Structure 1
Amino acid sequence: MQLPAGHDLPHTRSRTVHWLVTTMSLAAVTGAAALVQPSGATAEPGTAAPADSRTASRAAPEPPPAPDPDAVDYPLECGPLGVVVTDRVTVDLGADGRPETIAAVRCDAGSGTPPHGLYLLTGGGAARLAETLVDPAEGMTVDDLTATDEGTVSARLAGYSSLDVPRCCPDLRRDVSWVWQDGRLELRPAPAPNSI
């Protein structure tokens, strides 16, 4: 059957009112679906529920923080100058889940190369000085401080062959390492330069 010209069926004409009603209906259905949750659903967005309570109770505890080298009182005589930590490494020497910190520390002088102290710090957040690896009285500076997971700490020490050498320019260098053994770090110097 054909309708006279200009007489279309009502559902074939799109009007603004029809689009508004359709949009509002879809928004209402979507909003209701977002609010409705299955019974027992308690998860917050962005979190995942554990598979079961036994798995959650076996989660590994957080390891304690490494000792903070900026919170230690070092045995340095700096007069009116402050103390500065120039390098640090963190390593779990005893493989016991409690990390230690090795800190290279010197007086905060404006020029020259003041000698370093190299210290082993233990105790987690409440850091304490456990061992002196390089005494500032030796007049050495410490560079290239590293540590391995196996408990070896390495550094390059620079020093002076005599008092006549300007304090800005060390003329002696030696690579050294310390190995964790029997509950302490033992010094293992590399061969001296030009040695056989």
Structure 2
Amino acid sequence: MNKLIIAFLLSLAPFLSQSQNFEKYENMKEVDAMVMTSKMFKMLAKVDLSENDPEAREYMKLIENLDRIQIYKSSNPKVMTQMASDVKSYLAKGSLEELMRVTENGKNIKFYSLPGKNDNYVKELFMYLEGGEGAEPMSIILSITGEIDLSQLSKLTADLKVPGAEQLKKANKKS
């Protein structure tokens, strides 16, 4: 009986789990990876800032509500194919809503979000970029989770030097 219950729970795990396991890319030598956790954001939020700088205070307010930022970038064709497959599988779960698509200079950039507590917030911002820089092919997966204030998000992605940040900034100005 216990084996039956365990088997049943294991079969439900993929449906109960919200996030895709993109972490497998962290240890691949063909992938540039950056992962920041909530502990890092909490540490950054404790940095003593001048009370006269409202922009810095807003920035700290944004990052202290983040849970995780994951960025994976590769130019290896085999890894790029796997990334495309994993992203397709992740999006097929149907929990993310498409925000926008941009095709520019040989890059296809797609933004998705998971709705948050109201229209100004999302629980996850997900970006997938396929294309290249010059002659070099490239794929990038970006996932930001937490209580994300959309009005502050373009600043964060620009500071992280994420490809597609400029398109996100333009989209923010339109909304």
TM-score (norm 2): 0.27
Structure number with larger C-alpha Rg:
1
Greater fraction of residues in helix? 2
Task: Give the number of the structure with larger relative contact order, counting CA–CA contacts within 8 Å between residues 6 or more apart.
Answer: 2
TM norm structure 1:
0.25
